[in-house]
Amino acid sequence: MTKAERTRHFIVEKAAPIINKKGMAGTSINDIVEATCLTKGSVYGNFESKDEICLEAFDYLAKRVGADMSQAMSRATTNREKLGALLDYYINNVMAENNYGCPLMNFGIEADDTNPAVKVKVNKAILTTQSLFARIVRAGIETGEFKKTVDADAFAIKAFAMIEGGMWIARLQGSPKQMQVIIDSLRQEINDYCQ
């Protein structure tokens, strides 16, 4: 990695949690300058605009979430355990001190009508996450863990929407109670899928 690439990565790494918390519009270049201890000239010497930083910040956060999800599933040996590990990941992280909410939700809500480039990236990440759930369910069907009648795509869409909604409510209310109800409901559905 060149020095310029390291500097860009450093700026994105420091800016990403701020943008996720304050939003793209709510984060100023001064916030990024303060977080990085660089000058505005250094920031703008590495990025053409704040929008470019926001795009890379979303990519950085989405990649981190994906890595964290993979890590959460790494010890699972069955597809049922993998789904359980994903649900554990969400419930364990929804109220974490260093977590400012789901970047898919935070960036997506703001970009919906204002930033087409970010909207495209968020939509791709949503489909990737849903695809992960569906692949695990399909693998469970193939191995005989789950009934053949299970609709993997329908479960993936429902699980993703329920989890995202649960995270939003939990963050808004400052309580994981409703998120826990959603996770428990999804666990029961997974149990019902088992042979």
Residues in the chain: 195
In the predicted model, residues of the chain with pLDDT beneath 50 are: none
Alpha-carbon 128 to chain mean position: 10
**Of 72, 108, 64, whose CA–CA distance to 90 is shortest?**
72
3-class SS of residue 174: coil
pLDDT at position 113 is 83
Q: Which residues contact residue 135 at a Cβ distance below 8 angstroms, ignoring those fewer than 6 apart?
A: 152
Tens-digit pLDDT profile for residues 4-55: 899 999 999 999 999 999 999 999 999 999 999 999 999 999 999 999 999 9
Cβ–Cβ under 8 Å, residues 94 and 166: yes
pLDDT at position 98 is 66
- The model carries a pTM of 0.91
Cβ–Cβ under 8 Å, residues 94 and 178: no
Strands (E), 38-190: none
| Strand-pair partners of 146 | 194
